[in-house]
Structure 1
């Protein structure tokens, strides 16, 4: 079932979301300061490509204050806008019964877009 959901996701917009995150991540990786943020954008792109069957976990070890500071910077620079776009798309998909599984995936991406540091996709 998750394979079918992923195929439908990719055909109806998931590939474009993947490309946007991937290009942004690669552009951020061009600068030394942007490398940590670029890696998180690439993590978001991989999650946006095949979201069905994946879950987001906090890392086992305590991430410390560095990931908290990076999450705050991420949130202020662009994370809030990424999260709001996934929230709006999730609400639009939740209007119909057929779109509810896709809305759940957008809501999953909202939580990762808000605080990507200290989390991993399993």
Structure 2
């Protein structure tokens, strides 16, 4: 069932969302300062390709004191708009019963878009 959900996700916008994250990530990696943010965009892009079999978890090892300032900077620069977009698409998909599983995936992506530093995307079986 998850496989079918991922295929439908890709056909109806998941592939386009992933490409947008990948292009944005490459654009951010042009400068040295943008590399950490580009890596987070790539993480979101990989998650956008196959979201039904993945979950978000906090890292077990300590990341140091840089995680919180980087998440704040991410949120101010563009993460807020990514968060709002995924929340709006999630709400829109929750209007119909059939759209609920895909709306849940947008809410998972919103959680990652809120604060991507210090989180990992893990494939679950």
TM-score by length of 1: 0.98
1:104 aligned residue: 104
1:7 aligned residue: 7
Query: C-alpha displacement at 1:61, in angstroms?
Result: 1.5
Query: C-alpha displacement at 1:63, in angstroms?
Result: 2.2
Superposition misfits of 4+ residues, deviation over 6 angstroms: none
Segment drifting more, 61-70 vs 46-55:
61-70
- Aligned counterparts of 1:89 and 1:77: Cα–Cα separation in 2: 21
**Contiguous gaps of at least 5 residues in structure 2:** none
- Aligned counterparts of 1:106 and 1:97: Cα–Cα separation in 2: 15
Query: C-alpha displacement at 1:68, in angstroms?
Result: 0.7
Query: C-alpha displacement at 1:78, in angstroms?
Result: 0.3
Q: Would you say 1:35 and 2:35 are equivalent positions? A: yes
Matches within 5 A, 1:50-61: 50-61=50-61
**Contiguous gaps of at least 5 residues in structure 1:** none
1:21 aligned residue: 21
Root-mean-square deviation (CA, aligned residues, Å) is 0.6
- Say how many residue pairs are matched: 122
1:69 aligned residue: 69
